[in-house]
């Protein structure tokens, strides 16, 4: 397929925010895509080269892209930077310079293909060693020199993480169904396949080559992460028992959620966002290896413990997520792995089995391995649920998770199969909020020397695939954190508001929505200042007295608290 076709569709997708139009345009693209290229087209539409668990990250900085644009256009890097300051978008700058080239490059004698673009992207992402930076610039420049303005814009926006397509995997799955059947009727089967594999390209390829029958046969396989199930919220033991009746009540741990995969002697560990993390936790590998099974996929929480075996706060556990100094930090902060779900065992998919059966098998394989199993109570009495909750909070845990004994594992979904009841309910706001930083304010007074005074934060609107502001936060930092945050945000600073951000407020600087933080607040209020949950007739939601508690490096921006969850929290707060 010619890359001009894909770039043209990207241009069209960026111009609309209507879900139906986005789906139809994508469906037409998939219809026109050769079967042997549908996989890479699906990846590129999702803004990735490969799924997260492959560990391949393109993520080039603006400075890198500026050098490639300068090399192709004959301009200086300074001239490129000057134009970038005017446009506020490096993709627009690339388009202007590509359109303005006086001579057509020799490499434009043949049309740039999607496969060529993807192959160069992959080489750029995987090159290492001496001279790799210069070679990466040449590979990017090669694509730009063969591009017209629209293609150059798409290329630069992709490599710098600035695509504005307004779509996610759900829209791609809808479009795949429409492309083959004319409607969204095949979406449930496609979504289940994606939840089992976390691989949108694999699902698209299998669907187009072998049809829906092959999609329906997809089962979990070791080393392909399953998308995690998520919990709903309720505000009391009474509400939980009313909703579930007899249920399993587990202690809720504030650690790193991990998915552990074992096949024979091989063990791999993935984060909740499906990053490969095996190398970070050598102290857990042997425990997982000793589980009483040949093959398994199970979930657990890794928690740092002190010398007495007491669980430490998440802020200390997260220090184990690192690239360097792993052995030393492992000695300082040893980990306990507490398993709570079993999804696959010795060739059998357990995701459709009832929870009570999954739990029984989990206890059996964990026995004697060193992997602990979450403490659980089975009851239908609210007094027992409340007592277990209070015991858990007293022990320093977050609270409890109640589970429907007969429910399957709801991969990739938030349902009442799991219900969390957290200690923060004793305060004003029913839960903490995971928000994405979309801008920051310059420090003043005592904070002048740190550069950072506060941050503008947003939650995720799933229906619109956009980030909508909910709080301006200036507390919860210590001096060390202020300096650290400022360094991170400086790298993500952008010339103008990101297109996938809705905001009435104007921070001193906008940043790409990449950093997730956890915020606690006294309550949720209505406010015309923020856009989360706002409509033409209703003000948005805001957090009253928000404080940052921790940087959530284990979460992607799309894992942030959603607008729908904020609405639910607002209702819980009213009760």
Per-residue three-class SS string for 14-73: HCCCCHHHHHHHHHHHHHHCCHHHHHHHHHHHCCCCCCHHHCCCCCCCHHHHHHHHHHHH
| Distance from C-alpha of 237 to C-alpha of 425, rounded to nearest angstrom | 11
Distance CA 474, CA 486 (A): 13
Instruction: Report DSSP state, residue 160.
Output: T
Name which of 270, 277, 282, 334 is nearest 303 in CA terms.
Answer: 334
Dihedral (Cα; 565, 571, 573, 575), 10-degree rounding? -150
Contact 456, 472 (CB under 8 A): yes
Backbone angles phi, psi at 475, to 5 degrees: -130, 165
Residues forming beta bridges with residue 267, ordered by sequence position: 262
Alpha carbon 165 to chain centroid, angstroms: 17
What is the rounded distance in angstroms from the CA atom of residue 191 to the CA atom of residue 200? 9
d(CA 381, CA 71): 71
Residue-by-residue DSSP string for 340-393: EEEEEETTEE-TTS-HHHHHHHHHHHHTTTS-EE--EEEES-HHHHHHHHHHHH
Pairing of the two strands 230-233 and 414-422:
parallel
Q: Which value, in Å, is the radius of gyration of the alpha carbons in the chain?
A: 25
Q: Which residues are catalytic?
A: 252
DSSP assignment of 66-129 equals HHHHHHHHS--HHHHHHHHHHHS-HHHHHHHHHHT-SS--GGGGSPPBHHHHHHHHHHHHH--S
Between the alpha carbon of residue 160 and those of residues 12, 41, 58, 141, 164, the distances in Å are 20, 18, 8, 14, 12
Burial 292-302 (b: 16+ CB within 10 A, else e): ebebbbbbbbb
Q: List CB contacts of 444: < 8 A, sequence separation 6 or more.
A: 453
Alpha carbons within 13 A on the beta-carbon side of 261: 19
Please name which of 422, 374, 433 lies closest in space to residue 397, comparing C-alpha atoms.
Answer: 422
* Distance between CA atoms of residues 575 and 523, nearest Å: 12
């Amino acid at each position: 397929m010619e890359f001009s076709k894909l770039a043209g569709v990207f241009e069209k997708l960026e111009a609309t925010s209507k879900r139906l139009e986005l789906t139809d345009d994508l469906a037409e693209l998939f219809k026109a895509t050769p079967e042997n290229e549908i996989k890479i087209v699906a990846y590129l539409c999702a803004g990735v080269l490969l799924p997260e668990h492959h560990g391949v990250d393109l993520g080039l900085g603006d400075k890198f892209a500026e050098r490639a644009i300068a090399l192709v256009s004959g301009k200086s890097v300074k001239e490129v930077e000057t134009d970038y300051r005017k446009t506020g978008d490096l993709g627009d700058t690339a388009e202007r310079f590509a359109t303005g080239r006086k001579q057509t490059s020799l490499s434009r004698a043949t049309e740039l293909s999607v496969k060529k673009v993807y192959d160069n992207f992959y080489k750029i992402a995987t090159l290492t060693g001496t001279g790799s930076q210069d070679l990466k610039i040449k590979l990017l420049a090669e694509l730009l020199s063969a591009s017209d303005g629209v293609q150059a814009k798409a290329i630069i926006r992709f490599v710098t993480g600035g695509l504005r397509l307004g779509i996610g995997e759900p829209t791609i799955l809808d479009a795949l169904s429409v492309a083959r059947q004319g409607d969204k009727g095949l979406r449930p089967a496609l979504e289940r396949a994606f939840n089992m594999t976390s691989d949108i390209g694999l699902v698209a390829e299998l669907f187009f080559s072998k049809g829906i029958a092959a999609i329906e046969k997809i089962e979990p396989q070791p080393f392909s992460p399953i998308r995690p199930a998520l919990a709903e919220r309720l505000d009391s033991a009474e509400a939980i028992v009313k909703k579930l009746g007899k249920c399993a009540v587990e202690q809720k741990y504030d650690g790193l959620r991990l998915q552990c995969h074992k096949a024979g002697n091989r063990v791999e560990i993935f984060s909740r966002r499906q990053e490969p993390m095996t190398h970070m936790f050598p102290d857990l590998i042997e425990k997982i290896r000793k589980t009483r099974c040949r093959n398994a996929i199970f979930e657990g929480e890794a928690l740092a413990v002190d010398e007495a075996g007491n669980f430490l706060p998440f802020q200390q556990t997260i220090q184990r997520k690192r690239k360097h100094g792993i052995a030393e930090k492992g000695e300082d902060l040893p980990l306990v792995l507490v398993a709570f779900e079993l999804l696959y065992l010795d060739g059998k998919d357990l995701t459709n089995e009832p929870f009570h059966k999954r739990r029984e098998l989990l206890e059996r394989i964990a026995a004697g391995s060193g992997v602990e199993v979450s403490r659980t109570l089975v009851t239908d009495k609210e007094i027992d649920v409340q007592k277990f909750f209070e015991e858990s909070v007293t022990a320093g845990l977050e609270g409890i998770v109640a589970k429907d004994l007969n429910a399957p594992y709801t991969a990739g979904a938030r349902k009442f199969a799991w219900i969390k009841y957290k200690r923060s309910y004793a305060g004003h706001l029913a839960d903490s909020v995971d928000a994405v930083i979309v801008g920051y304010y310059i420090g003043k007074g005592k904070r002048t020397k740190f550069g950072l005074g506060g941050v503008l934060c947003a939650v995720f609107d799933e229906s619109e695939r956009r980030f909508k502001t909910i709080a301006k936060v200036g507390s919860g930092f210590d001096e060390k954190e202020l300096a650290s945050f400022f360094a991170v945000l400086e790298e993500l600073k952008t010339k103008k508001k990101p297109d996938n951000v809705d905001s009435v407020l104007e921070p001193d600087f906008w940043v790409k929505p990449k950093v997730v933080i956890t915020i606690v607040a006294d309550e949720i209020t209505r406010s015309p200042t923020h856009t989360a949950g706002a409509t033409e007739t209703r003000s948005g939601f805001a957090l009253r007295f928000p404080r940052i508690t921790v940087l959530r490096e284990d979460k992607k921006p799309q894992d942030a608290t959603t607008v729908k969850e904020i609405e639910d929290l607002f209702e819980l707060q009213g009760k």
